[in-house]
Amino acid sequence: MRQPVAPAVFDDVDRRIVNALQGGFPLVPRPYAAAAEALGLAEDELIARIGALTASGVLSRFGPMFDAEKAGGAVSLAAMVVPADRFDEVAAVLMEMPAIAHNYERCHTLNMWFVIATETRAGIGAAQREIEKKTGLKVLLFPKVREYFIGMRVEA
Amino acid sequence: MTDTALDTLDRALVAATQEGLPLTPTPYADVAARIGTTEADVIARLARLLDAGIVRRIGAVPNHYRLGLSHNGMTVWDVADAEVDRLGALIGALDFVTHCYRRPRALPDWPYNLFAMVHGRSRDEVEAKRAEIAALLGTAVRGSDILYSTRILKKTGLRIVG
């Protein structure tokens, strides 16, 4: 459950791959070959390195990143005030629910923050009620009203 | 919604790729074989989904923690509703802000309507970035806070289908 503390070890070629390929992967029959050429690498080396970066956890995955809401689904940030002596029990309830994508402990009175993602808008309220019923705690919803930017790109 | 509606094959395509593309020389042909269509159709569908914004982009999805960006702070700000869109665009344009959203307040406990996520290699780095946001927002800020994540309790990634 604890987050990994040590950063992964990777070399300059890995760094160039991570920095160059956070988007724009070619839509051609041999995309790794095309991307490899731009990086001065061989196709099989790029494939092997992406595999290794994924295996070591530097990359969560390699592929399309979807906008769940534009795909017809619903997403909401949510938060709860969880008493310290019930924290693990409540975290376990959320762990079991497929509708909960992420859950973080944060230093605030609202100390548990999570993302509810469902296939329909009604699913968000249903998940909220399910958590409230199972825990007896109030779930505050913070759905996005407007998105200003979602870069998610990061310099390796 | 009609321009963003997914048909059955689109949904199969999402299900087949949401955890990643095959690491083979011909990933689109391999996905096509799996969902029962052609390579050209997979490529055309991904291009359309990119155009519609349903696919934000295709490529490497890094894990901040494994890159050494182990400190993440959710900075939250209370600014006037009349100003939040202008200010949100300003903050969202900062290269170190990974997500920036307007969200509803939950009064009286939660007065904040602007959320900006900041990552850094140390708490000092996150604080410096928070100060940069505060300087940009200036006198528009009526209140603010930062919520550091102290533990990841669950991180399964967001599944769109299935």
Contact A19, A27 (CB under 8 A): no
> Which pLDDT score is estimated for A151?
62
Is residue A115 located within the same domain as residue A85?
yes
- In chain B, count of helices (H) and strands (E)? 5, 5
Checking if the pLDDT of A70 tops 90, the result is no
B41 and B92 inside one domain: no
In a domain, A4, yes or no: no
pLDDT of B158 reads: 67
Confidence of residue A10 (pLDDT cuts 50, 70, 90): confident
Same domain for B16 and B80: no
What does the block give as tokens for A76? 């909401």
Cβ–Cβ gap B62/A28 under 8 Å: no
Residue A151 lies in a domain: no
Helices (H), chain B: 8-17, 27-35, 39-51, 81-92, 123-137
| Same domain membership, residue B83 and residue B32 | no
pLDDT of residue B27: 98
With CB atoms and an 8 Å threshold, state whether B60 touches A117: no
pLDDT of residue A122: 92
The answer to ipTM > 0.90 is no
In this predicted structure, what is the pLDDT of residue A119?
86
In this prediction, residue A5 carries a pLDDT of 47
**A152 — pLDDT class (breaks 50, 70, 90):** low
Among left, alpha and beta (phi > 0; psi -120 to 50; other), residue B24 is: beta
Check CB contact of B108 with chain A, cutoff 8 Å. no
Model confidence pLDDT, tens digit, residues A98-149 = 999 899 999 999 999 999 999 888 999 999 999 999 999 999 999 999 999 7
Q: How high is the mean pLDDT in each 10-residue block of chain B (162 residues)?
A: 73 93 98 98 97 94 83 95 95 89 94 95 94 96 95 78 56
Enter the DSSP assignment of A9.
P
Nearest by CB to residue B55, choosing from A17, A64, A140, is: A64
The residue among A2, A70, A77 with the most chain B CBs within 10 A of its CB, best to mutate, is: A70
Distance CA B4, CA B53 (A): 9
**Which residue range forms the structural domain that includes residue B26?**
2-51
Q: Is B61 among the domain residues?
A: no
Tell me which residue range forms the domain holding A24.
Answer: 12-55
List the CATH number of the domain containing B103. 3.30.70.920
- The whole-number pLDDT of residue A1 equals 40
**Domains of chain B: total:** 2
| Of A56, A60, A149, Cβ closest to residue B100 | A149
Q: Is A12 on the interface with B (CB under 8 A)?
A: no
Q: Does residue B156 lie in a domain region?
A: no
pLDDT value at position A153? Answer: 67
Domain assignment of residue A85, yes or no: yes
Residue B31 lies in a domain: yes
Which pLDDT does position B156 carry in this prediction? 78
Mean pLDDT calculated for residue range A26-38: 98
Model pTM greater than 0.95?
no
The token duo for B133 is 């946001």
